[in-house]
Each structure stands twice: as C-alpha cells, then as structure tokens.
Amino acid sequence: MSTGESSTRARISLPLWQERFAAPFAPTTGAEMRARGWDAVDVVFVTGDAYVDHPSFAMAILHRVLERAGFRVGILSQPAWKSCDPWREFGRPRLFFAISAGNMDSLINHYTANKKVRNDDAYSPGGRIGLRPDRATLAYCQRAREAFPGVPVIAGGVEASLRRLAHYDYWSDSVKRSILLDSKADLVVYGMGEHSIVDIAQKLRAGGTLRDLRALRGITYALGAKDSDALLAQGLDSLGEKVEQVPSYDQVRDDKFAFAEATRIIHTNTNPFNAATLVQFHDRQAVVQNPPALPLDQPEMDAVYDLPYNRRPHPSYTEPVPAHEMIKDSVTILRGCFGGCTFCSITAHQGRIIQSRSSDSVLKEVNKLAADPEFKGIISDIGGATANMYTMRCTRPEVEAKCKRLSCVHPTVCKLLGTDHGPLIQLMREVRGVDGVRKVLVSSGIRMDLAQLSQEYVRELAEHHTGGRLKVAPEHTSPKVLELMKKPNIDNFGTFAEQFREASADAGKPKQQIVPYFIASHPGTDLAEMIDLALYLKRNGYRPDQVQDFIPAPFDIATCMYYTGLDPFTKKPVQTAKNLNDRKLQRALMQFFKPENYFAVREALIKADRADLIGGCDGLIPANPPKEALDARRKDANADHYHAVPNPTAGYRPGRKSQARRKKPGRGPR
C-alpha cells in the first residue's frame, strides 16, 4: 500500500463528523509520521499527559497552532523515561523538543497533601498511575539531551512555569533552584504559550540561534557564569529599560524574609503591560525572566479555539482518559482570572487579564459538538477559570497598563472594572438555543461577589444552568483567613446563597442546592478558626462530601506564607499548620458529622479548649462515641498502615523494589 493510500484509510476510519470538522491527529510514532509522507518533524512535543486532541489540553492547542503556522509536529505522550530511546522515535527534530509535564505539576498529580501516593491519574488512560515520573520536566529534558545532543530543549507547561525561579518545594521541604538549571533546558516558556512557541519555531527555522530567542516575551533563560559576570559589569540596565533584581537563590534559601521579598517582587510584576525584566542570581549564574506574553485579543482567541480539534483521545488508547471524560462536552469561553486568590496558580499561569472568545466562535464550537453522534445533548460546562468573568476588563486601558493591583475584586470590586454580565447572559441564551443542545451547565467556579451585581445572571443560572447543585467556593468563615486568601467575607456567601434560593424557587426548582467548598490548613488557620467553620456548617446544614486540603504549590503567595510564616506584602507573621496531625485534625473538623472522624474531632476540641462542644444540642459531636466510630478505630488499628513515600524527590518509580539509589560500578559513596 502506498503512503497516500495508508493516510486516506486512516482518515476515513474516523467518525464522519470529524471528516467535516477535524484534522488528523499528530503522529505519535515514526510509522505514523512516515504514513503522512514525512521524513522528519520540526518539533517533538513531549508531554506527561495522554494525548487528547481537545482544547482543554495544552498539547492539543500548541500542536494545532504550530500546525497552522506550517510546522510538522510529532507528539511523544507519556514516554517510558528510563531510556532515551522513545525520544528517538521521530529521528532528530529539525528545530527543537518542547517539553511539558502535562496539565498539572507532576508532584501534585502524584501525591496528596499528606504526601501519600494517589490511587489514580486523571490524565492517563484508565486512570493508571506510574505513566510519568516525579519532576517529569527534569526527566524529559535530560532524556532529550541524551537522545540528540545539540537540539534545543524548550520547557513549558504548569510545572516549568511555576518553578521558573527559585521556589519552595513542599515535597522535599526545601527551596529549589530555578528548574532551568536543574533540567538543563535552554529556555522555559511560562504562562500560556501560543505566541511564544510559534515565535521560537519561526526564529529557529529562519536560522536564528538560542541567543536570538532571549528577547521574546514570556520566557526565562539562564546566562552562563561568564555572561553573568559581564552582566554585572555592564549593569542590569543593559537588559532593558525596566529591570529589577530578585533576591538570589542563596538568599531565599537561607533567609525567609528574603524569600518573602522575592515573592512580593515576582507577583507585582505579573501585569504584561508594566512588568519588569527580573534577574535572580544562582551562585554565579543569572536567571533572567522576561515580561509575560501579551494577552490574546478576541480574534486571536477565536483563531486558537476555532482550530480543527478532534475533541477525542488518540485512537490508539483502549481505555478512557478520565480527564477527557470530564471535560469532553465542555466549552471554554475565556481564560485568565482577576480574582488573585493567594492559594491559586491560575492567575500566575493564565494571567489576570480576561481573554474572551466571540459569541460566533463559541457557537461554532457548540454546533460542532452538537453534530457529534456521541453527544448526549448536555454541555457539561460553559466557562473557564471563573465562569462569570466573560468579557470583563478594566474600563480604563491607560489605568490597566499601569495597575499593579493583584486582585480586581479584593478587598472590594474595583470601580474601574467592567462587571456587565449582559454579554455572558446573551451568550448563554444563544448556546442553549442551538439545535441538539438540551441543557447547558455551568460547572466552572463563579465569583459570587460579581454574580450578586446582576440579579438577572443569578436568575439565568438558577433557571437554566444548574444541574440540581451549584458549586461555589467561599473557602472559609474567618475574616483573618479570608483576608490572607484575598476572598470576600463569609457574609457575601450568605447573601448569594439567599439570592440563589429565591431564584431557584421562582424558577420552580426549590430543591436546587448550593455546594460550598472550604479549605483546611490554609495559612492563617488554626483549630479555633476551623471550629468556627465547623459550627457554621452545622448551623447552616452543610455537610461537605469532599474536603479541600491546602497544598503548597510552587510560586503561590499562600505557599510563601506556609514556608516563611510571613505575609510577603506586609511581612507580618502568619500562623500555619505544618504538622501532619494538626492538618488531620483540621480536615476532620470540616466533616465533624462523620463517625470515622469522631476521635479526631474530639482530640481537636480538647486541644483547643472547646470541650463544651462535646455532647449536648449545641455540640459538634456526641458525648459518647457512636458504634461506627469505635468500629472505624478498631479497623484502622488492625489494618496495615499506609505510609508516605519515604523520599518523593527520588522519583516516582512504580515496581521498583527499593527507593535506595543503586551504586554504579566504580563509584564510591556519594
């Protein structure tokens, strides 16, 4: 069979709706590459996720934008990393390796807040664990270097983005160097990478060098010792008009005040319109972070999301990919978030400036979705990082260009922020009017303080876009903790909840419920605050099914508070629960009603001198343990204990008999 015949057969085997809307998947093997008549690829994209050609997956978007720009891309998805052989699958790439750990930081993907191994991986076929290593960016970059020395290695994605400068690593409880230095990548593309990855490919195709890429926005690069010395001799101003030095790696490693100050500098330089170039020395090497990439305008957003995605996992998979099952019928209408929550990485990665698609682009995608024979008529989500920020921007562009504020809604909603829900309401109405669409749900989080500004939006939400339960995130009840989170007072949640109940009743849906999400162990939270939260839950009849346990993700402001015990902006002390037992007690208080938590709640109440809440009508738990609590404690005592991984930094290696590093022949003790 000729190459052309092979290619045609593969294309025709796809569902008919894809014939009209979608382009072929990127090749994932050398055989697939040759079947397309290619002898090589320009870019090999290495990802820790399963290959899903859906715009909720970074590798799908970046492949499609490169393809649109005329580049040939091969995708190496979840390669076996113990050898560099998979990196040679497509031969030597003409331009570069693009490396990403996937849609999540690999360590958060692998471990719980208690550093226990998770039982599943939503981004892997069948939810199987073990298909990517710990610190996947490091392993993937090093294998690329091994496979083809001299080929540029460009790292990106959430893991690399949030580790681009010196950062606190929860898993090793230490301050780590920039991931650039440990991975030996040539560049890190941080934030959303559509502009950057195409610019890099075009410059390298035109014969440019890695040094020529250093002027691009949205990248971080490292200078060698000689160039770093020259930079010091010439002055940091030689890098541009606006340059700011961040406390060095040695300083932030040894001095928590310096770490807090570095966090302040980094986070006040996230606005792409006024951010400085940042320089942080690691011993004699300078790591340079250029200002963020500019946000996409509406035509650019439309162009990205109008690309011919298949919206399916690669056909080679025999098991479903859980993350795809969850989002396959969702539609992204915006990116970015101006909430500025200190425990969240979205603003740091996507930016605080909202980038919205046009209604025409959204409706085009919805019509494509409705034409899919597998579509059941229900759009699972229409939103983004925050569902009700669609088209919302600062009403004064000249002020937006100078603004250093980290949140447009905290401590109050900025008077210059455009908060009109009208375009969103109109879009929601148009989407649910598409033939073949029976229901359009809003599953993304909504910002309640914004929603309250539009009673019409709340009515639309209650009447048409809630599947019985609306998820919202008040996060806590303590004013002190909410201030540290940059979240509104708990009274804001109460007001919204009442508005939603009234709107649900008016819509003839009085049984619709609000499901609030709260966080345990966030910096600033002690047992007293958690007990107050538990009492609030009891008084209002909330029984959370799930507990969010604070995980100190790299780069977050709240992570700085956790590590340093300081608010990086005020430098005031922040109390934090670090002991695993203290964190366990805080989690238990959020589910005080569960019999298996009885003894942990009792311990917490006694420890906080609140034994008055044991027994009685106003108590959180009865005076005597219920039978289920005794049975649970007995079962736990007899069960094999589940221990944390002794050293997560050693690498996620399922099946390996020992965590100990094997000695290599001829090497002495290390």
Instruction: Provide the 3-class DSSP secondary structure of residue 382.
Output: strand
Mind listing the pLDDT tens digit for each residue in 488-504? Answer: 999 999 999 999 999 99
Cross-strand pairs, 471: 515
- Report the alpha-carbon distance of residue 325 to residue 313 in Å, rounded: 10
- Report the alpha-carbon distance of residue 268 to residue 279 in Å, rounded: 14
- pLDDT at 18 > cutoff 60: no
Cross-strand pairs, 188: 155, 220
Q: What angle, rounded to 10 degrees, do the helices at 598-607 and 580-590 form?
A: 110
Percent of the chain with pLDDT over 70: 92
> What is the bridge-based pairing of β-strands 355-356 and 334-335?
antiparallel
Higher pLDDT, 1 or 614: 614
- pLDDT at 14 > cutoff 50: no
The answer to whether residues 244 and 269 touch, using CB atoms and an 8 Å cutoff, is yes
The answer to whether residues 30 and 273 touch, using CB atoms and an 8 Å cutoff, is no
- pLDDT at 53 > cutoff 80: yes
Mind listing the pLDDT tens digit for each residue in 609-652? Answer: 999 999 988 899 999 999 888 888 887 776 544 444 445 444 44
pLDDT at 518: 95
- Report the alpha-carbon distance of residue 616 to residue 578 in Å, rounded: 32
* Residue in the block written with tokens 């900025």: 414
Cross-strand pairs, 573: 566
> What is the bridge-based pairing of β-strands 277-282 and 285-289?
antiparallel
Q: How confident is the model at residue 545 (pLDDT cuts 50, 70, 90)?
A: confident
pTM to 2 decimal places: 0.90
Closest CA to 306 of 52, 23, 71: 23
Flag the least confident range among 393-407, 551-565, 655-669: 655-669
- Report the alpha-carbon distance of residue 55 to residue 327 in Å, rounded: 10
pLDDT at 635: 79
Task: Report the pLDDT averaged over residues 441-446.
Answer: 92
Residue burial 19-40, b: 16+ Cβ < 10 Å; e: rest: eebbbbbbbbebebbebbebee
Which domains, ranges and CATH numbers included, belong to the chain? 3-218 (3.40.50.280), 222-292 (no CATH), 329-465 (3.30.750.210), 471-643 (3.30.750.200)
Sequence length of the chain is 670
pLDDT at 349: 86
- Report the alpha-carbon distance of residue 41 to residue 27 in Å, rounded: 9
User: Across the chain, what does the average pLDDT equal?
Assistant: 91
pLDDT at 1: 33
- Report the alpha-carbon distance of residue 251 to residue 246 in Å, rounded: 10
Q: Phi/psi at 54 (nearest 5 deg)?
A: -130, 140
- Report the alpha-carbon distance of residue 79 to residue 82 in Å, rounded: 9
Instruction: Give 187's contacts (C-beta < 8 A, 6+ positions apart).
Output: 152, 154, 155, 180, 200, 210, 213, 219, 220, 221
Closest CA to 556 of 266, 242, 138: 266
Half-sphere CA count of 80, side-chain side, radius 13 A: 6
pLDDT at 639: 54
pLDDT at 20: 58
Torsion angle defined by CA atoms of residues 18, 19, 23 and 25, in that order, rounded to the nearest 10 degrees: 60
The answer to whether residues 158 and 103 touch, using CB atoms and an 8 Å cutoff, is yes
pLDDT at 633: 83
Mind listing the pLDDT tens digit for each residue in 256-297? Answer: 999 999 999 999 999 999 999 999 999 999 999 999 999 999
- pLDDT at 466 > cutoff 80: yes
The answer to whether residues 341 and 559 touch, using CB atoms and an 8 Å cutoff, is no
Flag the least confident range among 17-21, 323-327, 463-467: 17-21
Mind listing the pLDDT tens digit for each residue in 174-199? Answer: 999 999 999 999 999 999 999 999 99
- pLDDT at 601 > cutoff 80: yes
- pLDDT at 574 > cutoff 70: yes
Task: Report the pLDDT averaged over residues 307-330.
Answer: 95
- Report the alpha-carbon distance of residue 66 to residue 26 in Å, rounded: 11
- pLDDT at 658 > cutoff 90: no
- pLDDT at 352 > cutoff 80: yes
